[in-house]
Structure 1
């Protein structure tokens, strides 16, 4: 793969990235009202966050997880022509973030959120690669998960920024503060799974981080319970009844689920128990590989990078935009394992192609023939194996 990455071929990535962002901007700016040229809501998923803040501000917090109330709020914001319902599924404390963001009109609010996400991306990459962050940012903007996080109005770049902050505190040996900051990721608890195993593997230092994580979790639970008691109870019911089989929802975009669970459910439609068993086996194998990696490598950057990658294999719900967090391990390895750079360059290219070309193919297969192959997970596995081999050779040398 590395031999194929000549400058002439790399230009295709820039062309594809410019076309992607340019087409999205033209569609959004050329649309009517809150809809783009395709008739879809501008920002897509951002509507659910905006509506959650709007409902709290309009005294409807008790019905935050009521589908009928959510749909009515979204129609009040967008209009009766709303093309699709967007469910708010995050914990109640996350909705509080969008109370002030629901004050401006929807398009302006989405523009503010998009600008904040791009700022968080730049700050994260500046912290991870001070000498070359402009080049890193430019390449990151061609990465489909980054584009999806911004264009869908999602929070993948917020997750990246939080994990970057955790790493900066961890490398300064401020373990409790790192754990406390990682607790803010509880707005998507499954993104903590890799860090939890990492903390457990780190002895006393990891236990201090777990204490910080617990304190933040307790504070967020208290905040939700005090300010949004009815919504908190409704969320707990939702977590028990809906989350375990979220990919089984009729309208769930399974082709956007880039995790072992999504891979096996796409490949084995109609056999959810077998698919979930294979997903669990895949997660256990990934955890075993991570622990072997941690035993071999004692350097903090390499260990933290492995923890973030492990999250993708452990979480049942890694959507396309959640893969933005993989920029963190990519840059940690680039900066701290120079001998692995050829393998890292090839790994990024492989995953980039799997997203840019494979994601549309997966969606087409799921719609036309009822099953599909999620190309990104095999690509990441192959890329990770190549990077591990290069690191092993470096250690051996």
Structure 2
């Protein structure tokens, strides 16, 4: 309950509701996906995650991660939902499916659409297109590819080994996956930043229930998550003035700090500290304090 006012005052949430967008639905799907995965219900998590097929750019990071990590039950659930949606689309006609495929494959060129507001783009690609100018996109694409490769290396260092769901480490990993989803999306508007609320919540829970002294790293994560919360209110104005989208800097720094913090966290349930179930929110307890 204490988080509700912060959620409602978050600028992307306000924009999401005032412009009738789907950011809140995406947040709900990702939150349900995390909760099911955290309870080791991988098939159900995949089925729920597959609901994001209506916004394919937000599925790339997590879907690829689950393939690479060989989370086959998750993949099966995800593909099952996608198949159902595909079947329903076929009922509307082949042309509808063709348009969906064309749009998905051309997501990288969506920034060239007339009226596209680059100052409201919060992904790496949008950041570099705004910085270099939207004439020739070659340089922006090269810079995006290099930056994306660096972030993928950081993310990969967090995801080594099997995914130990139900642990604090998995909470940090999923928060990082959500942040990476935003950064690596081909295009992403302000209202889509609504999904970062899940990453913020997981970060704050991790820090508030971890008593180990990690010094400046803890302070850095707290500061970055708070700045990530506030920055969308100023980002558009700053982008118009400087051609720099500050939210991308903040998200990248947040992801890197999370990867460093994850090194302090146990890699399996047996190494988790003993804790009282009633004292720790359910989002974090299904492993060390729950019954999974």
In the alignment, which residue of structure 1 is the partner of 2:109? 245
Q: Separation in 2 of the partners of 1:237 and 1:160?
A: 26
TM-score (norm 2): 0.78
Greater relative contact order (Cα < 8 A, sep 6+): 2
Q: Does 1:140 align with 2:7?
A: yes
CA contact (8 A) 2:232 2:247 kept: yes
Distance 1:183 1:393, change over 3 A: closer
Say which of 210, 228, 232 aligns to 2:75: 210
Deviations along 1:182-222, one digit per CA (max 9) or x if unpaired, are 1110111110112123313433xx12111111111111011
Q: Separation in 2 of the partners of 1:295 and 1:230?
A: 42
In the alignment, which residue of structure 2 is the partner of 1:279? 144
**Secondary structure in 2 matching 1:295:** coil
Alpha-carbon shift at residue 352 of structure 1 (Å):
3.1
Q: Does 1:313 align with 2:183?
A: yes
Unpaired runs of at least 5, structure 2: 211-216, 267-292
TM-score (norm 1): 0.59
Unpaired runs of at least 5, structure 1: 1-133, 366-371
In the alignment, which residue of structure 2 is the partner of 1:233? 98
Distance 1:244 1:295, change over 3 A: closer
CA contact (8 A) 1:141 1:147 kept: yes
Q: Does 1:375 align with 2:246?
A: yes
Q: Separation in 2 of the partners of 1:336 and 1:227?
A: 45
In the alignment, which residue of structure 2 is the partner of 1:113? none
Pick the structure with greater CA Rg: 1
Q: Separation in 2 of the partners of 1:179 and 1:353?
A: 32
Q: Separation in 1 of the partners of 2:252 and 2:99?
A: 38
Number of residue pairs matched by the alignment: 255
**Secondary structure in 1 matching 2:231:** helix
Q: Separation in 2 of the partners of 1:302 and 1:354?
A: 22
In the alignment, which residue of structure 2 is the partner of 1:157? 24
In the alignment, which residue of structure 2 is the partner of 1:260? 124
Say which of 367, 376, 385 aligns to 2:256: 385
Q: Separation in 2 of the partners of 1:238 and 1:304?
A: 28
Q: Root-mean-square deviation (CA), in Å?
A: 2.5
Q: Separation in 1 of the partners of 2:17 and 2:227?
A: 22
Deviations along 1:326-350, one digit per CA (max 9) or x if unpaired, are 1112212322343476444311222
